[in-house]
Amino acid sequence: MYLKDGVYVKRIMEWSLDDNNWHFSQRSQNGVELFDTVLPNFCQEFQQYIDDGSIISGWYSGKNFTLAGSACHVSASKLHFIIPPGSVVKALHKNNLDKDIWAVSYKKEYDGLIFNHTFDIISEEEYQKLKRSHGVRVIPSMCTFVVKHTNSIPTRAKSRIVVLGNLEQHSWTKANCFCPVISVPMIQFLTALAVQNGRTLKQADCKFALIQASLPPDEHTIVKPPIGCPFSNSGQYWRFKKTLHGLRHAPRHWHNKIRSVLESPELG
């Protein structure tokens, strides 16, 4: 299925002898072409098409599959330096030759948090009220920058805003933070079960996974934006409504969220 105008649609793939490329196309019953898009270097870059959400392999019984959230990768092909900057200040410094690329990458990350309603922006006065009433202390944050490679070639300039959870005031127990993961024997069992029943194994990636889970009302989490954030003014804070990378209890909340979805009657 191909992502067209924000919605996944079912069409067919055809190999064109004219340009030696794979095409994703739709034709009417009499053979008239209604829609066509070229997928250049499809065999070599298949994983990249999957990773950026352009296509979903397989066939689904529904009429279409709507994209939940958004993901847009920033190319690293034009970076002057493959070593990523260590902070937002360095990334966006006027003397940094790659500042425009990292600025776009950071904006994509920030816009993703805004799109998913991850936090509310509050003032210094609002923060002080919460501090007096609930004893909440602000937690600093930072942005990590990474250059991802495909076949040793830099392909993606990635930014990720994270909370410095090691400075959290709350002392969480292991049970509050633990997120179960599948074991190797269970993977072997599922693989054998799929082979026995003639099923096809599939995997999926959840964009902005940890911010899909909402914070309980009694968990007051106030975060100071990364130093140098171009979208935050002095004296502004982020009051989180959802979890984020770095918070110690974020993995547990994500596990509870995805478990409730998988166990819901709609998927039964």
The answer to whether the beta carbons of residues 242 and 213 sit under 8 Å apart is yes
Instruction: Walk along the chain (268 residues) and give the pLDDT tens digit of each residue.
Output: 677 766 677 777 777 777 888 888 877 666 677 778 888 887 777 777 776 667 766 544 444 444 444 445 788 889 999 999 999 999 999 999 999 999 999 999 999 899 889 999 999 999 999 999 988 899 999 999 999 988 788 888 999 999 998 888 777 788 778 888 888 899 899 899 989 998 888 777 777 788 888 998 888 999 999 999 999 999 999 999 999 999 988 888 888 888 888 888 876 5
**Cα 189 to Cα 169: distance, rounded to the nearest angstrom:** 41
**Cα 81 to Cα 107: distance, rounded to the nearest angstrom:** 20
Say how far residue 45 (Cα) sits from the centre of its chain.
20
**Cα 85 to Cα 177: distance, rounded to the nearest angstrom:** 30
The SS3 assignment for 242 reads strand
DSSP state of 56: -
Residue type, 172: W
Q: Which of 12, 15, 71, 7 is nearest to 43 (CA)?
A: 15
Instruction: Compute the Cα dihedral for 182, 184, 185, 190 and give only its sign.
Output: positive
Residue type, 54: S
E strand or H helix at 83, and its extent? none
Residue 106 has what pLDDT?
Answer: 96
